[in-house]
Copies of this chain bind each other. A is one copy, B any other.
Amino acid sequence: MVKNVLGLRCIKCHKEVPAEAGTYTCPSCGSKGGIMDVEYDYQAINRMTTREQVTKSRDYSMFRYLSFLPIRPESARPHLSVGWSPLYKPQGLGKSLGMSNLYIKDDGQNPTASLKDRASIIAVIKAGEEKAPTVACSSTGNAASSLAGNAAAMGLKSVIFVPSRAPQGKIAQLQIFGATVISVQGSYDDTFRLSAEAIDHFGWYNRNAAINPYLVEGKKTVALEIAEQLNWDVPDWVILSVGDGCTIAGVWKGFRDLYQAGWIERLPKIAGVQSTGCCPLVDAFLEDRPWQPKEENTIADSIAVGVPRNPDKALKAVRESGGTMVAVSDEAILAAMRELGRSSGIFGEPAGVAGTAGLKVLVAKGIIGANEKVVAIVTGNGLKDIQNAIKAVGEPTKVEPSLKELLLKLDERPEV
């Protein structure tokens, strides 16, 4: 047991149980995974460290917030520098969206180039605490490569289940990290189920974020950083894309923990964005009904999740915060990739920029005000999915090595 942790609480029946290895489901109401929340002793957190001490910390990683994490301070950690990604205020993008107070949190700037590193590093630390030699997960790609990278850095083996449609870049990346990669010839749902069966069978450490309650705790550090980078003056809105629902749950958990520890004075509204090609949670939220499985028909592979594994925590985050949800087309996602790149030099993958695409819609609808302080999280780097970047931009101008020919070609492109 970690000093600052009281236990795990079921978000459905509110039963609290000890935080023991392997407790992933609620022993009281029988609810399946994705349902337990880590409960902290906020007085213990404040005894361990103060806001002022954190602000002065020279640990430029998510472990500056060690007192808010469910790991033992003395536990072995991999060397990778996860978190403390930049928070930008890009004037060009603000202008093009007509917003005066817009920030971008670029979480593509992480060791394996996505926000998922925040969860995976917790997984390999917990696996180390439990002396598990092998970690495993299923993933649309980013959780996979981040687990493989963090496991390699920690000296652990990893077994990764990916759906056959995962982009080449993500696959190659995790093979470079030495993972055993299982490409499941089926949907993400098939992939998730097979990984669960195999994890049961072999007793591997389970990094499926929707099951393992500690991973949301890693993801929440993005919220802690946003608060600190804004000098603890929280934004009006935080907006990001939603797949399984674990990341948005983590963002909300982070702000709630800070609030309960007395480090921030109010909570932001949380907005979740999905693609119109796969938006079971948006539909459930807007129609105020239970979610139903959907087809997975979008270029934003990281959020192409027809059967979300953490729907309860995700919908709770949006509802409790007084936030909203919105679906955007794949075309709007490609446009957001161009807009972020051209106006601010940030290159996000399709799912990574869906938050920004959704922001545009919510501003146009007047749900988010032009002067409100908004943070859009870019959750993954565009280099992970070059094929879709090419869709967004087309081919370059081809020229023989002659100035004469160049001048002719440029005449055809008067914008230069």
Contact = CB atoms under 8 A, between A and B. Distances in A.
Interface of A: 60, 78-81, 84, 86, 88-92, 106, 109, 111-113, 134, 148-153, 155, 157, 159, 162, 164, 168-169, 171-173, 175-178, 180-186, 190-191, 193-194, 197-198, 201, 337-338, 341-347, 381-384, 386, 389-390, 392-394, 396-403, 406-407, 409-410, 413, 415-416
Contacts of A410: 180
Nearest to A95: B155
Contacts of A90: 79, 153
Nearest to A157: B416
B381 A176 contact: no
10 contacts: A79-B91, A79-B344, A171-B396, A172-B390, A176-B392, A178-B341, A181-B396, A182-B396, A183-B398, A186-B401
A161 to B, nearest CB: 8
A88 B84 contact: no
A353 to B, nearest CB: 10
A175 B345 contact: no
A86 B81 contact: yes
Question: Which of A88, A386, A402 is most buried by chain B, counting CB atoms within 10 A of its CB?
Answer: A386
A338 B194 CA distance: 28
Contacts of A190: 401
Contact of A345 (B91, B177, B386): B177
B175 A394 contact: yes
Contact of A183 (B175, B193, B341, B399): B399
B347 A149 contact: yes
A347 B112 contact: yes
